[in-house]
Amino acid sequence: MSEQNMTRIYTDGACLGNPGPGGWGAVVIEDDQRRELSGGYGLTTNNRMELLAVIEALSLLAGRAAVELYTDSKYIHDAVEKGWLAKWKRNGWRTADKKAVKNQDLWLQIDALLSKHDVHFHWVRGHSGNPENECCDKLAGIAAQGRNLPKDSGYAR
């Protein structure tokens, strides 16, 4: 696929305390369009916000898309690119040591979205000057500080 038809997505999550109020941010670049997205929850974890950023950004895409997705989360990058996600599915959503996969509700959504799009994940070092990653970090931080944030129904203490 040509660079012109490629969608680029940058994502980040933030949590004020872990667990605590959290936010996610994403930048979606399609052709000449650039969109910024964000949202937050009153009590959640950083990993859940990282995952939600990916879900919200990929959910925005209409039709099948070729996507280069940039995240500073090794958790997300490695789960997809190193095949952990596929192994979790094969093992009935159990890890190699037979424990339940954390954040399964969100991984199920990501798995469904990955079947709709051709996504390649890239890891970028956070806070290292990548302008789009820095933008996502700012969006996530602002969202985490919002008032009257909704409950993250998938988060269980």
**Candidates 30, 56, 132, 137; catalytic one:** 137
**Candidates 13, 22, 25, 40; catalytic one:** 13
Is-catalytic flag, 122?
no
β-bridge partners, 147:
none
Rounded to whole angstroms, how far apart are CA atoms 139 and 92? Answer: 35
Is-catalytic flag, 72?
yes
Rounded to whole angstroms, how far apart are CA atoms 128 and 57? Answer: 22
**Candidates 72, 132, 141, 152; catalytic one:** 72
Rounded to whole angstroms, how far apart are CA atoms 32 and 82? Answer: 32
Tokens of 153: 């129904």
Is-catalytic flag, 17?
no
Is-catalytic flag, 105?
no
Q: Are 11 and 71 in contact, with CB atoms under 8 Å apart? A: yes
**Candidates 23, 40, 50, 132; catalytic one:** 50
**Candidates 17, 118, 120, 127; catalytic one:** 127
Is-catalytic flag, 12?
yes
Is-catalytic flag, 111?
no
* Beta strand segments in 4-156, E: 6-15, 20-30, 33-44, 66-71, 118-123
Residues involved in catalysis = 12-13, 50, 72, 127, 137
